């Protein structure tokens, strides 16, 4: 808020943030998120070669966009913050679906979390307050 605005001035509100993740093969990435991580397909574009897709789980949406540069994906991170007590449940769910992940551990910054990589190399962490 600028100094000239009053506290009662109406302001626009952001309703949702949707991360867009790079994917070398959007169809394969979407299949991973759906089959292994429990997401649902919302939409996809691109005809026989899918170039963009939207998926969601628990009210949270992610978009996947075609990207041929693996370095971009390898340097991309996504974090999911979980309610207390959920990290072990989610870890067990993913392990049951064959998702490779190290066991949850307490980090120096005060969270208990585990990480995975999607087929394109994006690092995804799932954590809760320790």
Q: Is 3's pLDDT higher than 80?
A: no
Q: How many CB atoms lie within 10 A of CB 126?
A: 23
DSSP secondary structure string, 8-52? TS----------EEEESSHHHHHHHHHHTT--EEEEEESTTS--E
Q: Which CATH architecture has domain 20-129?
A: Roll (3.10)
pLDDT, residue 5, reads 57
Q: How many CB atoms lie within 10 A of CB 37?
A: 20
27-77 residue pLDDT tens: 999 999 999 999 999 999 998 899 999 999 999 999 999 999 999 999 999
Q: φ, ψ for residue 93 (rounded to 5)? A: -60, -50
pLDDT, residue 40, reads 99
pLDDT, residue 47, reads 85
pLDDT, residue 50, reads 95
Domain boundaries, the chain: 20-129
| Residues 52, 111: Cα–Cα separation, whole Å | 32
81-113 residue pLDDT tens: 999 999 999 999 999 999 999 999 999 999 999
């Amino acid at each position: 808020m600028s100094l000239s605005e009053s506290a009662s001035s109406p302001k626009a509100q952001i309703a949702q943030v949707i991360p867009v993740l790079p994917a070398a093969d959007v169809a394969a990435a979407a299949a991973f998120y759906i089959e292994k991580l429990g997401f649902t397909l919302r939409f996809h574009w691109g005809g026989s070669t899918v170039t963009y897709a939207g998926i969601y789980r628990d009210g949270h949406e992610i978009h996947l966009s075609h990207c041929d540069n693996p370095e971009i994906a390898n340097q991309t991170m996504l974090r999911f913050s979980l309610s207390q007590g959920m990290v072990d449940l989610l870890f067990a769910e993913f392990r049951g679906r064959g998702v490779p992940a190290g066991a949850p551990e307490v980090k120096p910054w005060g969270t208990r979390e585990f990480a995975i990589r999607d087929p394109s190399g994006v690092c995804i962490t799932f954590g809760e307050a320790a």
